Amino acid sequence: MKYVKPESLEAAATLLAAEAGTSRILAGGTDVLVQLRSELVEPDLIVDIKHLDGLRDIVEENGGFRIGAGVSGAQMGEHAALCAAWPGVVEGAELIGSTQIQGRCTMVGNLCNGSPAADSVPGMVAAGAVARVHGPDGERDVPVKEIPAGPGKTNLGKGEFITSIFLPARPANASDAYLRFIPRTEMDIAVASAGVNLELAEDGTVSAARVAVGAVAPTVRLVPDAGAALVGSKLDDAAIAAMVSAVEAACSPIDDKRGTVEYRTTTAGVLAKRAAHIAYDRAGGAK
Amino acid sequence: MKNLHVTTTINGDAAEFVCEPDETLLDALRNRLGLTGAKEGCGTGDCGACSVTLNGRLVCSCLVLAAEAEGAEVATIEGMADGDQLHPLQRVFIEKAALQCGVCTPGILVAAKALLEKNPDPSESEIRYWLAGNLCRCTGYDKIIRAVQDAAAEMRSA
């Protein structure tokens, strides 16, 4: 195995593209090191990218935030402006692992690890977050929701890697929330999860809504019908019921010891409902 | 595998070592530098027995490559006491018998110290959540939590 700290993004892409064997990108390392140690993968090449320019930074850009691929969960939680603007995205990122893991884990790593249950991903998808991808052909921007391809798989090409996540500007009276269900109170993998991002009109009516669910399909899933069900409402019972139906219809989970199909499906709907109410309150809505 | 030469700072002192590219910081600390305070429990970031700080952040040293310590500042349990003077957390852990076998204790002390630097007056819930990544299979946690509370109170009044 070779460990390399390239001097530029271009050099990283060249190295990754030229590697004939297995390669891994190292940022927080909380998934890569576990894979390495459990001998799930034996990489020929590890490319450490977190020292590169901007990769450890959270910067305001066009009214939104650009979060570098090396930014840890703990660093996000300490950024007051980011927490105020995107509390749901931050609370998802902060649910990854223990304090020790929070010191290293990144949203980009969580996304690229490809788990359907990744805690930071529903919040990013609901936020309409965009990943900046660097590769042998240069840079491209890809919506986060298009990155996961299935459990453990992404749509990134050979030599490509994500350098940052962009969270767009949002109007006043907008907020988001993320909830997951686990059988214990801390440090577990979501059985089902939901992220909800709402924008409200002056009178408290929902003017735009995005709902994403996790752990109930091969990838985190955006549910456009669920968002549409909330638009024009003040989260009255009928709108919520329509949203929950849409979420349940979008679920196609696995059946395992951690949750049956029925259980995961019902739980996803309940979490989406609760997250919608939290996001609504945070956005300043009053029913 | 080509070995790497790493120059780093450990507990305030310059240190260097040679390691394999896939070697963890935990293994380098224990086997190359003789700093055996950090323990290997699970080796996969679940138990926290290998906790150290890396550039001021609490991390599991089993999930850090030794090569990543290049140019970094590492703090381990060995740097916690000031000569013969134990850190208040260390002393209170002994006084309150907040340990039995002791394997988890270095990691818990390093983690608790990181908490109190960030928040000198944490609630019981905050201590329990902060230490959720430090597993103890002996004491049942209550004595540990109370020792952290007592040490925190003492440090606040100092």
Q: Do A34 and A160 belong to one domain?
A: yes
Please check whether residue A27 touches B, CB under 8 A: no
Q: Do A6 and A77 belong to one domain?
A: yes
CA distances, A73 to each of A76, A110, A225, B111, B125 (Å): 5, 10, 30, 17, 20
User: What is the tens place of the pLDDT at every residue in A55-75?
Assistant: 999 999 999 999 999 999 999
Nearest alpha carbon to residue A88 among A206, A260, A262, A214: A214
| Domain residue limits at A79 | 2-47+55-167
Report which secondary-structure segment, H or E, holds A15. Answer: helix A9-18
Contacts of B123 (CB under 8 A, 6+ apart): none
Q: Are A275 and A196 in contact (CB under 8 A)?
A: yes
Q: Are A91 and A73 in contact (CB under 8 A)?
A: no
Tell me the percentage of chain A whose pLDDT exceeds 90: 94
Quick one: pLDDT band at residue A187, thresholds 50, 70, 90?
confident
Could B51 and A100 be called an inter-chain contact, meaning their C-beta atoms sit closer than 8 Å?
yes
In chain A, which residue's Cα lies nearest the Cα of B25? A33
Look up the CATH number of the domain holding residue A224: 3.30.390.50
What's the CA gap between A208 and B9, in Å, rounded?
Answer: 51
Q: Do A137 and A104 belong to one domain?
A: yes
Quick one: pLDDT band at residue A203, thresholds 50, 70, 90?
very high
pLDDT of residue B98: 95
Q: Do A134 and A195 belong to one domain?
A: no
Most distant CA atoms of chain A, gap in Å: 60
Domain count, chain A: 2
Nearest alpha carbon to residue A166 among A23, A282, A33, A57: A57
User: What is the tens place of the pLDDT at every residue in A218-259?
Assistant: 999 999 999 999 999 999 999 999 999 999 999 999 999 889
Q: Do A114 and A9 belong to one domain?
A: yes
As for the ipTM of the complex, it is 0.95
pLDDT of residue A287: 63
Please check whether residue A39 touches B, CB under 8 A: no
Q: Do A16 and A152 belong to one domain?
A: yes
Q: Tell whether domain B4-79 is in CATH 3.50.50.60.
A: no
Query: What backbone torsions phi and psi does residue A30 show, to the nearest 5 degrees?
Result: -75, -20
- Domain boundaries defined on chain B: 4-79, 88-157
Q: Do A119 and A194 belong to one domain?
A: no
Could B67 and A30 be called an inter-chain contact, meaning their C-beta atoms sit closer than 8 Å?
no
| Six-digit token string for B54 | 């890396």
Q: Are B74 and B25 in contact (CB under 8 A)?
A: yes
Please check whether residue B1 touches A, CB under 8 A: yes
Instruction: Report the b/e string of B2-34 with b at 16+ CB within 10 A.
Output: eebebebebeeeebebebbbbbbbbbbbbebbe
Please check whether residue B111 touches A, CB under 8 A: yes
Of A116, A142, A167, which residue sits at a domain end? A167
Q: Do A147 and A196 belong to one domain?
A: no
Which of B54, B58, B68 has the CB atom closest to A99's CB atom?
B58
Of A133, A149, A167, which residue sits at a domain end? A167
Quick one: pLDDT band at residue A186, thresholds 50, 70, 90?
confident
- The answer, yes or no, to whether residue B95 has pLDDT greater than 80, is yes
Looking at 3.40.190.10, 1.10.1740.10, 1.10.150.120, 3.30.450.20, the CATH number of the domain B88-157 comes to 1.10.150.120
Residue type at B66 in one-letter notation? A
User: What is the tens place of the pLDDT at every residue in A1-53?
Assistant: 999 999 999 999 999 999 999 999 999 999 999 999 888 889 999 999 999 99
Q: Are A191 and A182 in contact (CB under 8 A)?
A: yes
pLDDT of residue A184: 84
- The answer, yes or no, to whether residue B1 has pLDDT greater than 80, is no
Q: Do A107 and A20 belong to one domain?
A: yes
- The answer, yes or no, to whether residue B139 has pLDDT greater than 80, is no
Q: What mean pLDDT is reported for chain B?
A: 96
Which of B22, B24, B59 has the CB atom closest to A100's CB atom?
B59
Contact list in B for residue A33 (CB cut-off 8 A) is 24, 45, 62-65
Three-state SS at B88: helix
Which of A5, A30, A103 has the CB atom closest to B57's CB atom?
A103
Most B CBs within 10 Å, among A22, A39, A75, A100, to test the B interface: A100
What's the CA gap between B155 and A131, in Å, rounded?
Answer: 44
